Amino acid sequence: MAIKQAKIITVTSVKGGSGKSTTVLNIAGILSEKNLKTVIVDMDLYSGMISAALNIESDNDIYTMVDDLGGSRFKQIENYVKPYNENIDIISAPKDPRNVLKIHPSYIDIIINRLRYKYDVILIDTNHIIDQINLVTFDLSDKIIYVLPNDLMAFKNMKTMISIYQDMGLDKYIVVLNDSLGYDYFSHYDIKSILGIEIKYVLPKSLYVKNIQKYVTNGKILTLEKNFMHSKGTLILKELVEDILK
């Protein structure tokens, strides 16, 4: 019988300020509600916000794990994981951004394989830069979620990415439009014309929370809060998660 492996979901963008990391946390909340053991790997290596948003402090992060692997000091993956709740664990981005350049892309494969048989879902946050580490991450992923703001430059960059995926014969990407940022420069019809694809998942303006700082200060995930569990934005993310888990 085949051994169960984690579903690997990477959330990225083609432009900064898209709400990518917030989307990672909200998806993690939905996975937690489904009782799926999930690890968030924060590979937005220079400006990772996952641990800060969840009020998690850890002496060990991705860099210390890589350093221990290279120095034969690595014992078990659990030493580098911090729990958020009973279903969500966190592996933090490097505390010191100077250590990012010391992380060789070959270690990403090793880290993911250490996690693959311990979790139901590996949820990866990345930056929007196409570098070697992100390319390795994309290659390992079962699904890649691109979170886009309503912004012309984002659409131009995404159109290029769609062309690359089409040339490679890959269809493992999903585009999510984040309307909760408050930008409405282009209609959904215009966006479809620019990208050449239909965007099925649109995060509504109602997902925007005026007092978001209160939740961030308390390390809360919105989709785990009663006030948001049945909101339109949460329901759209639940549909997205269901489609990916199929």
Give the percent of the chain with pLDDT over 90: 76
pLDDT reported for residue 199: 93
Q: Which domain holds residue 207?
A: 7-245
pLDDT band at 1; cut points 50, 70, 90:
very low
Q: What is the CATH number of the domain that holds 191?
A: 3.40.50.300
The mean pLDDT value of the chain amounts to 91
Assigned domain for 150 exists: yes
Query: Considering its fold, how many domains does the chain have in total?
Result: 1
Give the residue from 133, 132, 140, 110 showing the smallest Cα distance to 7: 140
**86 within domain boundaries:** yes
Inside any domain, residue 206: yes
- Tell me whether residue 19 is in a domain: yes
Q: How many Å apart are CA 201 and CA 198, to the nearest integer?
A: 9
Using the 8-state DSSP alphabet, how is residue 229 labeled?
T
Residue 1 lies in a domain: no
Burial class (CB in 10 A: 0-12, 13-18, 19+), 149: buried
pLDDT digits 0-9 by tens, 185-204? 899 899 999 999 989 999 98
Give the residue from 241, 44, 7 showing the smallest Cα distance to 119: 7
**Does residue 214 form part of some domain?**
yes
Is residue 103 within 8 Å of 111, Cβ to Cβ?
Answer: no
177 has which bridge partners? Answer: 148, 202
pLDDT of residue 13: 96
Structure-block tokens of residue 172:
């493992």
Provide the pLDDT for residue 90.
97
Residue 2 lies in a domain: no
Q: Residue 218 gets which letter from DSSP? A: T
pLDDT tens by residue, 118-176? 999 999 999 998 899 999 999 999 999 999 999 999 999 999 999 999 998 989 999 99
